[in-house]
Amino acid sequence: MSDVAIQVVRLPHAEGLALPAYATEGAAGMDLLAAVTAPLVIAPGGRALVPTGLCIALPAGFELQVRPRSGLALKNGIMLANSPGTIDEDYRGELGIIVLNGGESPFTVERGMRIAQAVVAPVTRAVWQEVPALPATVRGAGGFGSTGRG
């Protein structure tokens, strides 16, 4: 495993909050904290853009994947509306987390709350090759439950 250096600018509303960090030695994701200046209530079925107060510069060939936190999902029905979200290497704006309340009760986002997790991942670029036909497989064009396994 190798380290990837990510340049970060902390915006004023994130002052005093920790930078993203791994909670354990074997963690793949870093916790992203809510940089709200006041409690933010998300109604059931509602969504909100939660600021992190961070702007980053990823190295070439990497993306930052933003993913939900399993504890918030299980306990409160909190999801990320575009999960996983992708932060491209050339984006320089503030990282914002689109939070969706799929639970039955209002959910309050507090300052410094661990609202999502971020995973740094290498990017592979595709090159499309148009062909007259695709190689045959046993499955063929069957989809949406066609394998009979669920």
At 74-102, the pLDDT tens digits run 999 999 998 999 999 999 999 999 999 99
What's the CATH number where 22 sits? 2.70.40.10
Total number of domains in the chain: 1
| Mean pLDDT of successive 10-residue stretches along the chain, which has 150 residues | 92 98 95 98 98 98 97 96 94 98 97 97 96 92 71
Residue 86 is predicted with a pLDDT of 96
Q: Say if residues 116 and 108 touch (Cβ distance below 8 Å).
A: no
Q: What's residue 103's pLDDT?
A: 96
Tell whether 76 is covered by a domain.
Answer: yes
Beta bridge partners of 33: 114
**Average pLDDT score over the chain:** 94
Is 32 part of any domain?
A: yes
132 within a domain of the structure (yes/no): no
Residues with Cβ within 8 Å of 94's Cβ and at least 6 positions away in sequence, in order, are 11, 51, 52, 53, 54, 55
pLDDT of residue 66: 98
